[in-house]
């Protein structure tokens, strides 16, 4: 996406404020357990969730779903209710780190494409929530994943997570 297509909700980079991003917590039921899809970051290879800048013309959950498609080849619709927020510092080659706050939207995966825009730049892998929590670096995201391990009902609008 071009920078002109992004919307900014918090103070700009020049003003020193944290920047808003939207992320997708991509999930499925597998053998009676919730699993989440993690991807590797392009720069460091850390395990992360798909996330990115707000996209003009899309609401937050649609922006999250678009990022899930581009970064992980995920097909599905994100829920309108955010699971919560986490903060991280985006590393940049030429400048100091940029503080970001990510609003996370659950997205039940309906399908995974074999080819997608960032296929050559990332790996993707399914993990049970407890294992995923151990792999991510951000404490708030880790806490979100651990909370899901205890109660996955927040992943669906009606509070029921079907096992099929």
The yes-or-no verdict on residue 1 having pLDDT over 50 is: no
Tell me what pLDDT residue 158 has: 65
The yes-or-no verdict on residue 70 having pLDDT over 90 is: yes
Q: What is the mean pLDDT of residues 121-131?
A: 98
Tell me what pLDDT residue 91 has: 82
Q: What is the mean pLDDT of residues 77-95?
A: 90
The yes-or-no verdict on residue 98 having pLDDT over 80 is: yes
CA-based nearest residue to 35, from 112, 120, 117, 101: 112
**Sign of the CA dihedral running 29, 34, 40, 41:** positive
| Mean of all residue pLDDT scores within the chain | 88
Higher pLDDT, 81 or 8: 81
Q: What is the mean pLDDT of residues 20-43?
A: 95
Lowest mean pLDDT among 12-26, 102-116, 144-158: 12-26
pLDDT in tens, 50-65: 999 999 999 999 999 9
What is the residue-wise DSSP string for 116-158?
-TTGGG--EEEEEHHHHHHH---HHHHHHHHHHHH-GGGGSTT
Where does residue 18 rank: exposed (0-12), middle (13-18), buried (19+ CB within 10 A)?
Answer: middle
Tell me what pLDDT residue 16 has: 63
Q: In CATH, which superfamily holds the domain spanning 3-155?
A: Nucleoside Triphosphate Pyrophosphohydrolase (3.90.79.10)
Tell me what pLDDT residue 160 has: 56
Query: What's the predicted TM-score (pTM) here?
Result: 0.85
């Amino acid at each position: 996406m071009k920078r002109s297509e992004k919307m900014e909700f918090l103070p700009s980079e020049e003003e020193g404020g944290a920047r808003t991003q939207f992320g997708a917590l991509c999930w499925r039921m597998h053998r009676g357990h919730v699993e989440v899809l993690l991807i590797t970051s392009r720069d460091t290879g850390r395990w992360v969730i798909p996330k990115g800048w707000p996209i003009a013309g899309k609401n937050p959950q649609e922006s999250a779903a678009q990022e899930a498609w581009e970064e992980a080849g995920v097909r599905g619709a994100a829920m309108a209710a955010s699971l919560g927020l986490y903060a991280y510092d985006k590393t940049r080659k030429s400048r100091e780190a940029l503080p970001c706050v990510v609003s996370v939207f659950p997205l039940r995966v309906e399908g995974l494409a074999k080819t997608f825009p960032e296929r050559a730049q990332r790996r993707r892998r399914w993990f049970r929530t407890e294992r995923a929590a151990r792999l991510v670096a951000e404490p708030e995201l880790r806490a979100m994943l651990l909370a899901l391990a205890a109660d996955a009902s927040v992943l669906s609008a009606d509070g029921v997570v079907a096992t099929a």
